[in-house]
Chains A and B, each alone.
Chain A
Amino acid sequence: MRSFSYERAQTPEQAAATVAGKPGAKFLAGGTNLLDLMKLEIESPTHLVDVQDLDLDRIEETDDGGVRIGALVSNTALAAHRKIRTDYGVLTRAIVAGASGQLRNKATTAGNLLQRTRCPYFYDSNMACNKRKPGSGCAAIAGFSRQLGVIGTSDSCIATYPGDMAVALRVLDATIETVTPDGAKRSIAIADFHRLPGSSPERDNVLEHGELITHVTLPKPIEGRHFYYKIRDRASYAFALVSAAGIIAPNGATRVAFGGVAPKPWRVEAAEEAISKDRKAATAQIFSGARPTEENAFKISLADRALAAVIAEARS
């Protein structure tokens, strides 16, 4: 690990301004992903601004019946919150389907959104990776790609966004609130938060350097059966091959986002009306334009079967 200096921020505005003023600076919250990457020198910040003392660790109900989640709320605390587990079951289910108990105790809401891909070529610094080292190429495209993305990818990068929580947030139409380095506040719809790689896969999301997530806001609860169906190579503590987060309303209206298939939680609202009538046609529309490799083409039919499974369960 490269050496770095360390400080604790007292306000979100101060944290943002400090990181923005230093090119090599980064925020540190739980650290569960950042420390892992720093040990491998995939990340090598020269200065860490620890945000743990900021007053961002509460979950509050909003005036319009929704919920405002502080950026520092731990994954465990969010999953266990009374209103989240009763009214936003898809979110609790997604969180407890990810990582381990130890990691969920330390990992934060904002940090979970910002976690980086687990593409094995991103993690192996002997391999070419445009996300880790822009312009070096992508060893994954002709490599072992079973775990990697099938849609939204590019000729530069086929890595997936690895998390579970954000897939549920996508289906819940969450909004991400930030403070920018000049102290202004910004709201970003979850749909617009994670980027597609295009020719600049080193940028995972739309945040600028020094922009700090302060809250994640959920609109009022959506009635229906909430599910998070995760398919992986072992039954616990593994990243998704395919996951499906969704809500099936009493009248059959379905909304669904898929994880493990793309550089961001993958949801196509325009296809959702068709799900209750012709599921196969709807999933074909959701995955239209997919560019799978020979090794991961199975993910598209697996996604359709995951959706079929939850629809069957909702009817039972």
Chain B
Amino acid sequence: MADNVKTGPSRRTVIAAGAVSAAATSIPAYAKPAQLPGKPPMRVPVSLEVNGQAKKLELDTRTTLLDALREHLKLTGTKKGCDHGQCGACTVLVNGERINSCLSLAVQHQGDKVTTIEGLGTPDKLHAMQSAFIKHDGYQCGYCTPGQICSAVAVLDEIRAGIPSHVQLDVSEPPPLSNMEFRERMSGNICRCGAYSNIAAAMADVAGGGA
């Protein structure tokens, strides 16, 4: 979780320290920040409920929900892939619905309930979908996996709620919990390793009550 205390430098802190020292040596002492066009950054208070915990932040209006989670709350389970809504690695649940957290400003989510991969389950108590991904080998490098799992959890809810899809022959009928439905509904989550078949198998397992 966000408040976990780590011992020793992590890969992230080492990289950050390296960037600071590189910057310190490369910027001449006389250089002042250029006057950029546009307004100075506006900061706003943002209150979120993240994985059941109330969080209060003060953020530049430009901060996406994704960056608020990763950079400010240190919940780095949610991944930044394309940062343009094309890959789905940033998928989180907001008030129970999946969205691309990269295409949403944090300030749009005042009071919203956000669930990230860290909130779905923990290493000691995995969510059924997390267990199913392990059982069915639903990943290889793992980078897209948090987004895939959040999306997969939401897809099963969407099907059960009767939300129609492109692959239904009759959109006025309730959709089935089928492999075709899983594949169509997961198309906003790209996996470069190509674990799609196993992801669909994991979803079928959870949908059938197994895993």
**Chain A residues with a Cβ under 8 A of chain B:** 1-6, 28, 31-32, 35-36, 39, 44, 46, 48, 50, 52, 76, 79-80, 85-86, 89, 92-93, 96-97, 99-103, 105-106, 235-237
Q: Can you report 24 A-B residue pairs in the complex whose CB atoms are below 8 A from each other?
A: A2-B38, A3-B41, A3-B42, A3-B60, A4-B62, A32-B104, A35-B64, A35-B104, A36-B84, A36-B85, A39-B84, A46-B38, A76-B97, A79-B171, A86-B172, A93-B171, A99-B188, A101-B154, A101-B185, A102-B99, A102-B100, A102-B151, A106-B99, A235-B184
Q: Indicate whether B32 reaches chain A with its CB closer than 8 angstroms.
A: no
A32-B85, A101-B98 are known contacts. Are A236 and B91 too (CB-CB below 8 A)? no
Smallest distance from the beta carbon of A53 to chain B beta carbons, Å?
Answer: 10
Could you say which residues of chain A place their CB within 8 Å of the CB of B162?
A: 80
What residues make up the interface of B, taking CB atoms closer than 8 Å to A? 37-42, 44, 60-62, 64, 83-85, 88, 91, 97-100, 102-105, 107-108, 151, 154-155, 158, 161-166, 171-172, 183-189
C-alpha spacing A52/B105, complex, angstroms: 12
Are B108 and A31 interface neighbours, CB within 8 A?
Answer: yes
Instruction: Decide if B39 touches A31 in the complex (CB within 8 Å).
Output: no
Contact partners of B165 in chain A: CB under 8 A = 96
Query: How far apart are the CA atoms of A42 and B161 in the complex, in Å?
Result: 37
Closest chain B residue to A230, Cβ basis: B166
Interface contact B97-A105, CB-CB below 8 Å: yes
What separation, in Å, do the CA atoms of A5 and B162 have in the docked complex? 39
Kindly state the separation between the CA atoms of A1 and B42 in the bound complex, as whole angstroms: 13
CB-CB nearest 3 A-B residue pairs: A100-B188, A236-B187, A237-B187
Given A101-B155, A101-B185, A102-B151, A6 and B42 contact (CB-CB distance below 8 Å): yes
The chain B residue with its CB closest to the CB of A86 is: B172
Q: CA–CA, A163 to B17, complex, Å?
A: 45
Number of residue pairs spanning A and B whose beta carbons lie under 8 angstroms apart: 118
User: Does the CB pair A28–B108 fall under 8 Å?
Assistant: yes
Q: Enumerate chain A residues within 8 angstroms of B62, measured Cβ to Cβ.
A: 1, 3-4
Query: CA–CA, A223 to B84, complex, Å?
Result: 40
- Does B103 lie within 8 Å of A6, measured CB to CB? no
The residues of B that contact A39 with a CB separation of less than 8 Å are: 83-84
Q: Is the CB of A105 within 8 A of B98?
A: yes
Decide: A100 near B39, CB < 8 A? Known: A89-B172, A92-B171: no
Determine if A2 and B37 form an interchain contact, defined as CB atoms under 8 angstroms apart. yes
Contact partners of B41 in chain A: CB under 8 A: 3
Which residues of B have CB within 8 Å of A99? 188
| CB <8 Å contact, A102 and B44 | no
A103 proximity list for chain B (CB < 8 A): 85, 100, 103, 188
Which residues of chain B are within 8 angstroms of A80 by Cβ–Cβ distance? 161-164
Contact of A4 among B42, B100, B155, B172 (CB under 8 A): B42
Min CB distance B87 to A, Å, is: 10
Give the distance in Å from the alpha carbon of A101 to the alpha carbon of B184 in the complex.
Answer: 9
By beta carbon, the residue of chain A nearest B154 is A101
Contact assessment for A5 and B83 in the assembled complex, using a CB-CB cutoff below 8 Å: no
Tell which of B41, B62, B102 has the most Cβ of chain A within 10 Å. Answer: B62
A85 touching B164 in the complex, CB below 8 Å, given contacts A28-B108, A35-B64, A101-B155:
yes
Beyond A31-B105, A105-B98, 13 extra complex contacts between A and B, CB < 8 Å: A6-B44, A28-B105, A35-B105, A52-B108, A96-B164, A101-B158, A101-B185, A101-B186, A102-B85, A102-B100, A102-B188, A103-B103, A235-B187
On whether A89 and B98 interact (CB within 8 A), knowing A3-B41, A36-B103, A46-B38, the answer reads no
Smallest beta-carbon distance A254→chain B, Å? 20
Distance between B112 CB and nearest chain A CB, rounded to angstroms: 11
Q: Are the CB atoms of B64 and A79 closer together than 8 Å?
A: no
Contacts of A100 in B (CB 8 A): 85, 88, 187-189
Complex contacts, B108 vs chain A, CB 8 Å: 28, 31, 50, 52
Minimal Cβ-Cβ distance residue in B for A37: B84
Q: Within the complex, what minimum Cβ distance (angstroms) separates A281 from chain B?
A: 31
**Separation of A4 and B189 alpha carbons in the complex (Å):** 30
Q: Is the CB of B103 within 8 A of A35?
A: yes
CA distance A76 to B158 in the complex (A): 10
Separation in Å of the B208 CB from the closest CB of chain A? Answer: 21
Docked-complex contact B188 and A6, CB < 8 angstroms:
no
Question: How distant is B191 from chain A, measured CB to nearest CB, in Å?
Answer: 13
- Taking the closest CB of chain A, its distance from the CB of B65, in whole angstroms, is 10
Question: Which residues from A are CB-within-8-Å of B185?
Answer: 101
Whether B171 and A96, one on each chain, are in contact in the complex, defined by CB atoms closer than 8 angstroms, is yes
- Chain A positions within 8 Å of B91 at CB level: 102
- Contacting B163 at CB < 8 Å: which of A5, A6, A50, A79? A79
* Inter-subunit contact A102/B88 (CB<8 Å): yes
In the assembled complex, the Cα of A12 lies from the Cα of B95 at a distance in Å of 25
- Docked complex Cα distance between A282 and B171 (Å): 29
